[in-house]
Amino acid sequence: MGNYYSDLVPDFKKCTVKLKDIPAYQYDVSLADEYKKKKVSKAEIVELLESMLVIREFEEMILKCRTGAYEIISDYDYRGPTHLSIGQEATATGACSLLNITDYITSTHRGHGDSIAKGFHAIKRMTEAELKARCPECSNLSGEQLLEAVLEDHVYRTIAELFGKEAGYGKGRGGGMHIADFRVGHLGANAIVGGGLPISTGAAMSCRIDEDLKGRVVCCFAGDGAYSNGVVLESLNWAAQDQFTGDIARTKYGLPVIFCIVNNHFGMTGRADGEVNGVDFMARRAAGFDTENMHAEVVNGMDVMAVREAITRAKKICLEGKGPVLLELDTYRYYGHSLSDPRNEYRTREEEARWKEIDPVDTFKKRVQDAGILSAKEVKEIEDRVIARNARAARRAADAADPDPADVIKYMYTDTVCDVVPEKYQKVEVYKDLPKVKRDADGRINYRDAIKEGIMEEMLRDRRVVIYGEDVADYGNAFKLTKGLLESFGRDRVFNSPISEACICGTAVGMAMTGYRPVVELMYMDFALMASDQISNQAAKWHYMTGASTTIPMVVRCSVGGGKGYGGQHSQSLESMFAHIPGTYVVYPSNAYDAKGLIKTAIRDNNPVVFVEGQLLYNEKDVVPEEEYLIPFGQANVIREGSDVTFVVWGPAVKDALKAADILAAEGVSVEVIDPRTLVPFDWETVFASVRKTGRCVAISQCVDIGSFTGEIVAQIMANCFDHLDAPVLKIGARNGIAPQAVTLEAAFLPKSEDMVAAAKKLL
């Protein structure tokens, strides 16, 4: 599984690079002809019509709720978001009507329609046993009564989530902009514009390499506004990588993802056409990432049958291993970005009227009747059924219980870990002997190799553990930490990524949501700022926002380069920033023994973990057992016991703190040195016990002092140990500035053992 690349041969012969054509609006078949030729059945047509009506009725309910005009719940004060998708029903219904229950979707903040459609069509395909399993409270029903009850439950739980109720799909934690239903493959609507694209790409990565997931596709809905966003373009590039289908791929199988640009022509108030874009069709974006244009085409998104026809072909392409596919669904948003947006500043009534003439719901109703498939009476019966169902669901949702305020941060973290690997993932294929980590005569290995050994052990234990990032494959990462893993585990599990930090982390979220356990690498922690949205708004929040419906077991490895003269963009110790983001764990080992035990714990934990590595520690050696061991999170290490002052310190600063403790010991001062090892969760009791004993404390890190987690340590000690303190609690960090490159300046910038000695003496 080594280097499969062919040599690059320079050839500057004069030529012209030609781009392939992108077809647009190719569907020109009448519904009557489709029905006559039995390409679509009456039952399918009824299902499509009902699906669009359910979406339209739901969205109009939200509109009416704002003014109290929805009579059934006129007494209810709705305060949730109002991002309506009226006018876009054909895109959601047309796509989701062709997806299997197990296929995945991601959606947008304007994603009520997508969520309703995915659940509606999935429920329509469930067996009676599956329907009863989904709604045990309906187990006494059967046949049409059971189906109708489960459909109503779907609408009820959707409304309940918008209303912030415990019965909602996310137990009221996420609300309508983050609605998800993992039971039918809905991986979540996303309030970050474009935030769902890397997640869908990651989900497709799982489907590509997992035999049990093959045959599934991922349908990613995002608006035209998203397709000028950096992480969206990164995702298109990521999905189209040659290494997924080219000569170096072990299995030539592209990512089975369909990117649906729901082009409603407005990104909030900015108009895509003629204002914020420089192309006539958004589908042109595909030409920048794939010589096949990602099989792109432009589709009439106001025609549910045109959307179905395009999705049919897109699914076929994906299931043949030739994905990804990009479809531009040309549709229209009748209302403003939200109901606070009157929309009259940036578009005309005449424009809206022209689009409403081809309204997807009304047009389809007319075609169905004109073709003699349904009578006006039958259409009216479907409409009445949808209206009544929605009204009952709305009343139930308005009356449903609110979440208990005592549970305000319930579901912030999961307390689950992967104790037992499912049997099907225990069989791991190894193509070449694992790289051997060599120990010296005393059983010592360095910090870098300890992390590598821990990762290898977890990859041998669980086939779902994959590792990727910039330069981690053939080259073995910038610090040679992953050298040899590619040859041993193959390119499905160890591969290079584009220089796309946001997409590295975002695809990991998607893989984690779909059952994998990715370990992704950011070469320097500074680059985590490029990925901060995907770490902080995606990885950290989905367990909570879905009411614990999903877990995100992923590890983001990032190294800190401070002390090497690399300057302001390669030297920052940013762990305090991520400790401020609830939902992530933050780990920073200071020695090789801890590094191995903690990386193994991180990989097995079902929460997202930011795993920080000090580059200055990579060559530091320690005795590290070859036998299996884990180090629990939230368990500090009392490295040195003392009685006069407590040092709480982590990362490379631990070495300086121990040196300071030796200097102070020579002067008769006894220092207790505590390495918390994990900032989140933090072992407060060990620190409090020490401070109650010594009466003095200095919190130390290499983070810039202002805003550092050391300040939180000071605050907690003051709040919990005040009566035991003999002096104020001090903190030491890097200077409040930008890391300099010059040797003399960096030496002055970072905290030193002399600073720690001085602080202790000040307290004494």
Task: Provide the annotated active-site residues.
Answer: 501, 570
193, 108 contact by CB (below 8 A)? yes
Side chain identity at residue 729, one-letter code: V
607, 414 contact by CB (below 8 A)? yes
Chain mean position to CA 389: 34
Sheet containing strand 104-108, edge to edge, reads 186-190, 104-108, 218-223, 257-263, 325-330, 297-300
Cβ neighbours for 453, distance < 8 A, ≥ 6 positions apart: 437, 445, 596, 624
Q: Are strands 186-190 and 218-223 parallel, antiparallel or unpaired?
A: unpaired
**Cα–Cα dist 592/247, whole Å:** 38
DSSP state of 664: H
Element (H, E) at 237: helix 230-239
**Cα–Cα dist 643/659, whole Å:** 17
| Residue closest to 195 by CA, chosen among 168, 160, 225, 215 | 225
**Cα–Cα dist 750/757, whole Å:** 15
640, 649 contact by CB (below 8 A)? no
590, 675 contact by CB (below 8 A)? yes
What does 402-432 look like in DSSP terms, one character per residue?
Answer: PPPGGGTTTTSS---B--S--GGGT----SS
Three-state DSSP class for residue 613: strand
Peptide bond just before 10 cis, omega within 30 deg? no
Q: In whole angstroms, how far apart are CA 9 and each of 18, 25, 76, 233, 327?
A: 21, 41, 70, 29, 35
Q: Tokens 């121990």, residue?
A: 658
Query: Which value, in Å, is the radius of gyration of the alpha carbons in the chain?
Result: 29
**SS3 sequence of 469-506:** ECCCCCCCCCCCCCCCHHHHHCCCCEEECCCCHHHHHH
Q: Tokens 């500074």, residue?
A: 526
Side chain identity at residue 25, one-letter code: Y
Angle at CA 705, nearest 5°, toward 699 and 710? 30
Maximal CA-CA distance, the chain? 99
What's the distance, Cα to Cα, between the start and end of the chain in Å? 61
| Residue closest to 349 by CA, chosen among 359, 363, 335 | 335
- Residues composing the chain: 764
Q: Which residues pair with 609 in a beta bridge?
A: 555, 585
Q: What are phi and psi of 564, to 5 degrees?
A: -115, 5
Three-state DSSP class for residue 494: strand
Side chain identity at residue 21, one-letter code: D
479, 559 contact by CB (below 8 A)? yes
